[in-house]
Amino acid sequence: MPERILIVEDEEHIAAGLKLNLEAEGFETFHVADGLKAIAEIRSGKHDLVLLDVMLPGASGFDVCEQIRAEGNHIPILFLTARDSDDARVRGLELGGDDYVTKPFSIRELIVRIRAMFRRSEWYRKAPEQGSALSFGGSKIDLSAYTADTPNGAVTLTQKECMILKLLAEHEGHVVTRDQIIEQVWGYDRYPSTRTIDNLIVRLRKFFEEDPRNPRHLHTVYAAGYKFTQAAVSE
């Protein structure tokens, strides 16, 4: 069954060109020109990925993304916009966009990015070999539901936090570099900074380590990256 892409774009020529190219690549497409209609379409669950303009009638692309993420919907969203400032890019990604492409764009590059997003999305959904439950240090994490039971109580994780844990667990006992995390979990190179990754690891240690300053499962490997060990190992 072809993957379904929702095109949210109020410029008819651009929408028609996107439709033409994406359908030639084997995708199924559906087009709306209004932010409020986009929210309703995304809620319908009929689409696998959203190409989202920012300047839209009804509700802006930023508002659409914020609303959808607030509802716990993790559909991949690629912003496709003329807004090319760093502030706008960071805003789009912080609101939960998965990628950000500025106009005018190369249609070939856009298609490569869309395929990469689908691959990443597939990896997000796929349960690790050991199953979607990950247990260590007295905590039990559900990698599909983004929830965890810890000795200090129940915790809800963000999608990115959960995917970092999943990636580390898939490479249990081996070093995972910060670049690998960005590539696999985010998929683009300008955002986030490696500092963002470090901050997320600090947050995860607060949830899952008995003593976050002396981690026994989520280890820092100096000048290399991070390593996860299921069994407690002192650094």
Would you say 114 or 148 has its CB closer to other proteins? 114
Strands lying side by side in the sheet with 28-32: 28-32, 4-8, 49-52, 77-81, 99-102
Size of the residue set binding other proteins (CB under 8 A): 28
Span of 10-18, 70-78, 120-128, 180-188 interacting with other proteins by CB under 8 A: 10-18
82 forms part of the interface with other proteins (CB under 8 A): yes
Span of 41-49, 106-114, 195-203, 223-231 interacting with other proteins by CB under 8 A: 106-114
Say how many C-beta atoms besides its own lie within 10 A of residue 113's C-beta: 20
Would you say 19 or 171 has its CB closer to other proteins? 19
- Chain positions 107 to 136 lying near other proteins, rule: CB under 8 A, are 107-108
21 forms part of the interface with other proteins (CB under 8 A): yes
104 forms part of the interface with other proteins (CB under 8 A): yes
- Asked if residue 129 lies in contact with residue 120, where contact means CB atoms within 8 angstroms, the answer is no
66 forms part of the interface with other proteins (CB under 8 A): no
Buried residues in 140-174 as b, exposed as e (16+ CB within 10 A): ebebeebebebeeeebebeebbbbbbbbbbeebee
Q: How far is CA 41 from the centre of its chain?
A: 20
106 forms part of the interface with other proteins (CB under 8 A): yes
155 - beta bridge partners? 148
Among 28, 60, 188, 196, binds other proteins (CB under 8 A): 60
Which two structure tokens, joined as six digits, stand for 176? Answer: 């995972």
Q: What Rg do the C-alpha atoms of the chain give, in angstroms?
A: 19
Would you say 107 or 202 has its CB closer to other proteins? 107
Which letter does DSSP use for residue 230 in this model? Answer: S
Nearest to 83 by CA among 50, 49, 53, 39: 53
Among 57, 131, 138, 173, binds other proteins (CB under 8 A): 57
Among 5, 48, 49, 62, binds other proteins (CB under 8 A): 62
Among 14, 90, 175, 202, binds other proteins (CB under 8 A): 14
CB-based burial label for 34 (10 Å; 0-12, 13-18, 19+): middle
Among 54, 78, 117, 143, binds other proteins (CB under 8 A): 54
Give the binding site for other proteins (CB under 8 A): 11, 13-14, 16-18, 20-21, 24, 35, 54-63, 82-83, 103-108
